[in-house]
């Protein structure tokens, strides 16, 4: 079973809260309104793919946890 | 925890004035029930944390707020089914189609082109006698030309677009037949443009959206056309009037203007503070609750109209120290001028680049920039959606 690894580059994050609005269980904002994953490794979840594709600052990285290959965001 | 049942009368501040002091109106409550000037009852959300909490919560629905019978004339009316008037998952499907074109990285690549347009517009202004109308010669053509180039719309059609967008977004008080006519004509224009781009694809956003429809069936023909209309309108008067209102604020604070002239490196920080302090329009887009929801110490019942007051949240003293002080060195980037959540302004990063380059140009190339008429003589167009100046006559150089 494929697993996905989520990362958020906090230096790119602009605090739009797009990801927490799309996938409330998967992302959480810190006190500076910067996002991070609730769990870094998850089973594939289309809402996480949507959040990564919708991020206005392309701050969300999504890769196959085993191979490190980028997950297609389309 | 009780349902607050006594609505307070609420009138949005006039264009160019600071937002109403909620300590007076609501006793400082972050969420309160209000009667709007048109008689509607709505919950107004004014506290920074409450606004953020609200706009990232999908139980506050935009689709219900723009549904027939509930939508106000004008932009709200035409928003149904578009990215500004849908909820996830429909919203996510539509937004993903255009999100990549407006990311920080993609828009940064457009910066040299934006700077070149700024430069050309200022060249043209300085080649003509003073005073100049900044609206017609700079603040409107800049964002209009940028979004037209992104969409692949011929520059020759710019003026026609302006007339349509002016009718649709500029004045909600106008005769609704006039608004509908403009919306229908704009829609018809894009029907034709899309036909032409199908026949002759180009390297532009309209062609990319056509491919998403024809190759992958990811949106309907109507959604495709409405998306183009929406992008054009949203990219138009918003940035233009942010330039106008920001300049007025700077001219009203000569010390802050001097600080920017002395150190143009402050411009990106200053743009965030200008976004925080400038109130672009009347009431922001409303939501309707799908459930009974606790927010800011009250319970809002299901089916109620709720409006986030971004400009008031941007003056929340628990987040911004001395919030009424305009300070171009303030770290203000956490402001809510672009909203938050799934409806976070699609064009936010583009607007930032346009505003930064606009002020780099205006401040760098027009020393002594000043109003050519008293500020009290400036006229805003009627209506409430966008605080749109008719004209902004300016002079520069030695007095």
- Domains of chain A, start order: 4-64 (3.30.70.20)
Mark yes or no for CB contact A33/B52 under 8 Å: yes
Compute the nearest-CA separation of B28 from chain A (Å): 23
Task: Decide if B67 contacts B80 (C-beta within 8 A).
Answer: yes
**Rama region for B392: left / alpha / beta (φ>0; ψ in -120 to 50; rest):** beta
Using a CB-CB distance cutoff of 8 angstroms, which residues of chain B are in contact with residue A18?
341-342, 344
Residue showing tokens 């026949």:
B199
Nearest CA to B281 among B13, B79, B23?
Answer: B13
* Low-confidence residues in chain B, pLDDT < 50: 1-3
Instruction: Say what the ipTM of the complex is.
Output: 0.95
CATH number at residue B130: 1.10.630.10
Question: Could you report the per-residue pLDDT of B53-64, keeping only the tens digit for each?
Answer: 999 999 999 999
Nearest CA to B128 among B379, B354, B373, B393?
Answer: B393
Q: What is the pLDDT of residue B290?
A: 98
Does the pLDDT at position A16 exceed 60?
yes
The Cα–Cα gap between B235 and B22 comes to 31
In a domain, B258, yes or no: yes
Q: What is the pLDDT of residue B1?
A: 46
Going edge to edge, which strands form the sheet with B287-289?
Answer: B8-9, B31-35, B41-45, B305-308, B287-289, B60-61
Nearest CA to B347 among B196, B180, B249, B234?
Answer: B234
Mark yes or no for CB contact A57/B88 under 8 Å: no
pLDDT above 70 coverage of chain A, percent? 100
Q: What is the pLDDT of residue B236?
A: 80
In a domain, B22, yes or no: yes
Domain span at residue B391 reads: 8-395
Structure tokens at B237: 């008067």
| Residue in A closest to B99 by C-alpha | A54
SS3 (DSSP) at B105: helix
pLDDT above 90 coverage of chain A, percent? 93
- Reduced 3-state DSSP string for B326-378: CCCCCCCCCCCCCCCHHHCCCCHHHHHHHHHHHHHHHHHHCCCCEECCCHHHC
Nearest CA to A27 among B293, B89, B56?
Answer: B56
B5 backbone dihedrals φ, ψ, rounded to 5°: -110, 5
In a domain, B3, yes or no: no
The Cα–Cα gap between B343 and B2 comes to 29
State the Cα torsion B295-A32-A27-B81 to the nearest 10°: 60
**Rama region for A48: left / alpha / beta (φ>0; ψ in -120 to 50; rest):** alpha
Question: Could you report the per-residue pLDDT of B123-141, keeping only the tens digit for each?
Answer: 999 999 999 999 999 999 9
Most B CBs within 10 A among A56, A58, A62, A74, hence the mutation to make, goes to A56
In a domain, B2, yes or no: no
Total domains present in chain B: 1
In a domain, B1, yes or no: no
Mark yes or no for CB contact A54/B333 under 8 Å: no
Question: Could you report the per-residue pLDDT of B155-205, keeping only the tens digit for each?
Answer: 888 888 888 887 776 555 656 777 788 889 999 999 999 999 999 999 999
Q: How far is CA B344 from CA B268, B284, B310, B382, in A?
A: 19, 12, 12, 27
Mark yes or no for CB contact B344/A32 under 8 Å: no
Structure tokens at B367: 């020393």
Using a CB-CB distance cutoff of 8 angstroms, which residues of chain B are in contact with residue A33?
52, 334
Q: What's the length of chain B?
A: 399
In a domain, B360, yes or no: yes
């Amino acid at each position: 079973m494929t697993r996905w690894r989520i990362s958020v580059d906090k230096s790119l994050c602009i605090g739009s809260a797009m990801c927490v609005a799309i996938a409330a269980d998967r992302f959480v904002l810190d006190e500076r309104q910067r996002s991070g994953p609730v769990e870094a490794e998850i089973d594939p979840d289309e809402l996480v793919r949507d959040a990564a594709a919708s991020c206005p600052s392309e701050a969300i990285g999504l890769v196959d946890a085993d191979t490190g290959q980028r997950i297609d965001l389309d | 925890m009780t349902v607050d049942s006594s609505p307070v009368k609420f009138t949005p501040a006039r264009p160019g004035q600071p937002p109403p002091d909620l300590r007076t109106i609501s006793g400082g409550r972050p969420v309160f029930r209000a009667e709007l000037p048109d008689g509607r009852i709505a919950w107004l959300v004014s506290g920074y944390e409450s606004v953020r909490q609200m706009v990232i919560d999908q139980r506050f629905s935009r689709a219900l707020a723009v549904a027939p019978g509930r939508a106000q004339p004008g932009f709200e009316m035409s928003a149904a089914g578009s990215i500004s008037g849908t909820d996830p998952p429909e919203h996510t499907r539509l937004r993903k189609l255009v999100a990549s074109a407006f990311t920080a990285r993609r828009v940064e690549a457009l910066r040299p082109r934006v700077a070149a347009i700024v430069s050309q517009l200022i060249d043209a202004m300085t080649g003509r006698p003073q005073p100049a109308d900044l609206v017609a010669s700079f603040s409107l053509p800049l964002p209009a030309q940028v979004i037209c180039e992104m969409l692949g719309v011929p520059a020759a059609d710019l003026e026609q677009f302006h007339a349509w967008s002016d009718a649709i977004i500029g004045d909600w008080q106008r005769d609704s037949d006039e608004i509908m006519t403009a919306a229908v004509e704009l829609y018809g224009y894009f029907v034709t443009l899309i036909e032409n781009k199908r026949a002759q694809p180009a390297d532009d956003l309209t062609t990319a959206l056509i491919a998403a429809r024809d190759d992958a069936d990811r949106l309907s023909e109507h959604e495709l056309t409405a998306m183009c209309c929406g992008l054009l309108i949203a990219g138009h008067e918003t940035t233009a009037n942010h330039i106008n209102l920001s300049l007025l604020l700077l001219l009203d604070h000569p010390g802050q203007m001097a600080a920017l002239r002395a150190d143009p490196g402050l411009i990106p920080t200053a743009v965030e503070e200008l976004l925080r302090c400038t109130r672009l329009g009347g009431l922001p887009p409303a939501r309707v609750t799908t459930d009974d929801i606790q927010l800011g110490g009250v319970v809002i019942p299901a089916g109620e109209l709720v409006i986030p007051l971004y400009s008031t949240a941007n003056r929340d003293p628990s987040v911004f120290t001395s919030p009424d002080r305009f300070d171009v060195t303030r770290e203000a980037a956490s402001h809510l001028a672009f909203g938050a959540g799934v409806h976070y302004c699609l064009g936010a990063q583009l607007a930032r680049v346009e505003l930064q380059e606009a002020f780099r140009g205006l401040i760098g190339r027009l020393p002594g920039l000043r109003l050519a008429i008293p500020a009290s003589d400036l006229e805003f167009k009627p209506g409430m959606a966008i605080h749109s100046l008719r004209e902004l006559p300016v002079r520069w150089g030695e007095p």
